[in-house]
Structure 1
Amino acid sequence: MGAVHPRVLGYLGRALSLEFSAVQQYMTHASLAELWGLEEAATRFRRETVEEMQHAERIVQRMLALGVAPAASQLRPVGHAPDLVGLLRLNLSLEADLINLYAEAVRFCVLVGDGDSQAFFQDLWTDEQHHGDELGDWLRSLGPNHDPSMERATF
C-alpha cells in the first residue's frame, strides 16, 4: 500500500474515537434502559453497541494495514437523559457526528484520489446512515413528543 495522506490517518483516528464513544454510550444506555425495565430498548441498544464495536474493529484493522498504531485519542462523555426519548435524541446526535465525519472523509478522499480509503469510509458512512434512519424511526414510533429536527440529519 502506498503512502497515505496524513489527513486520512486523522480521519481514521477521529473515527475510532467516535466509534468507541458510541460503544460506551450505547452500552450505558442499554444498562439504563434495563434499570428502567425497558428490556426491548436495552436489547436494541446492546445490538447497536455490537455494531459500533464492529466499526471500531474495522478501523483498527485498516490502521494496522496502513502501518499505523491505532489510538482513540479522546472518548466523549456519555450523554444522559431522564427517559428513552432523551436517550434516542442523544444517540441520534452522536450518529449525526459519525455521518458527518464519514461524509467529510469520503469527500476528502475523492479530492486526493485515494479510492481505497474512499471506499472504506463510504461503507462506514452507509452503515451509520442506516443506524441514524433506524434511530429516527424508533424515535418517531414513540409519538409526537420528539424534536423533528433530530429525526434525520441531511448531508
Structure 2
Amino acid sequence: MSVDSRTLGWLTRALTHEMSAVQQYLAQSVLARLWGDPEKAEKFHQEAIEELKHAERLMEHLILLGIAPSAGNLMPARLGRNWDEILTANRVLEVNAVHLYQDALLHSQRIRDSATAALLESILTDEITHIKEIDSMKMEQNERS
C-alpha cells in the first residue's frame, strides 16, 4: 500500500506529540501526588490515559497503512514550581496539539484521505476540549488564590 509521505510525516509528528503528552501528564500526576494533592494527581493521570488512547489510535491507523509506528524524540516533560506554571505548560502543550492537528487535517482533506481526516478531526476535537478544561482549572485556581 502506498502512503502519502506528508501524511506519514503528520501522523508521526502526531504520535510523537501524544507520547510526549503522556510523559508530561504522567510526570505531573506523580508530582501532584508528591505535593499531597491526590485529586490533581488523579486528574493528570486521567489526562495521561486519554493521550495514550490518542497514541493508540494513531498507531492503529499507521499499522493499517502498513507502517510500523515510531515516535520521534519526545519533548521533555514540563513540570513547574506551582499549579499555575503546570497549567500554563499544559495549555501550551494542548495549543501546539491543536495547531498540529489543524494543519494535518487540512493536508488529509486536500489529498482526499477521508480515513486519516476522520481520525485527525476526532483527536482535534479532544484537544480543543483539553484547552477548555485547562482554562477552567486555571480559573478555579485563580479563585482559590
Q: TM over 0.5, yes or no?
A: yes
Match of 2:18 in 1: 19
Match of 2:30 in 1: 31
Match of 1:85 in 2: 84
Match of 2:142 in 1: 143
CA distance in 2: counterparts of 1:110 and 1:8, whole angstroms: 11
CA distance in 1: counterparts of 2:11 and 2:45, whole angstroms: 24
Residues 33 and 84, structure 1, Cα contact 8 Å, conserved in 2: no
Match of 1:121 in 2: 120
Deviation at 1:112, TM superposition (A): 1.4
- Structure 1 position 102 matched with structure 2 position 101: yes
Alpha-carbon RMSD: 1.6
Match of 1:150 in 2: none
CA distance in 2: counterparts of 1:31 and 1:128, whole angstroms: 22
CA distance in 2: counterparts of 1:96 and 1:144, whole angstroms: 23
* Amino-acid identity (%): 35
Deviation at 1:144, TM superposition (A): 6.3
SS at match of 1:67: coil
SS at match of 1:142: helix
Please list every run of 5 or more consecutive structure 2 residues that lacks an aligned counterpart in the other structure.
Answer: none
Match of 1:71 in 2: 70
How many correspondences in the alignment? 145
Deviation at 1:113, TM superposition (A): 1.4
> Which segments of structure 1 move beyond 4 Å, counting only runs of 4 or more?
none
Deviation at 1:103, TM superposition (A): 0.5
The CA deviation string for residues 96-139 of structure 1, in whole angstroms up to 9 with x for no partner, is: 11111110011111111111111111001001111111111111
Match of 1:151 in 2: none
CA distance in 1: counterparts of 2:6 and 2:143, whole angstroms: 42
The CA deviation string for residues 21-55 of structure 1, in whole angstroms up to 9 with x for no partner, is: 00000000001111111111111000001000000
Match of 1:148 in 2: none
Q: Higher helix proportion, which one?
A: 2
Give TM-score scaled by structure 2 length: 0.95
Residues 102 and 122, structure 1, Cα contact 8 Å, conserved in 2: yes
Match of 2:48 in 1: 49
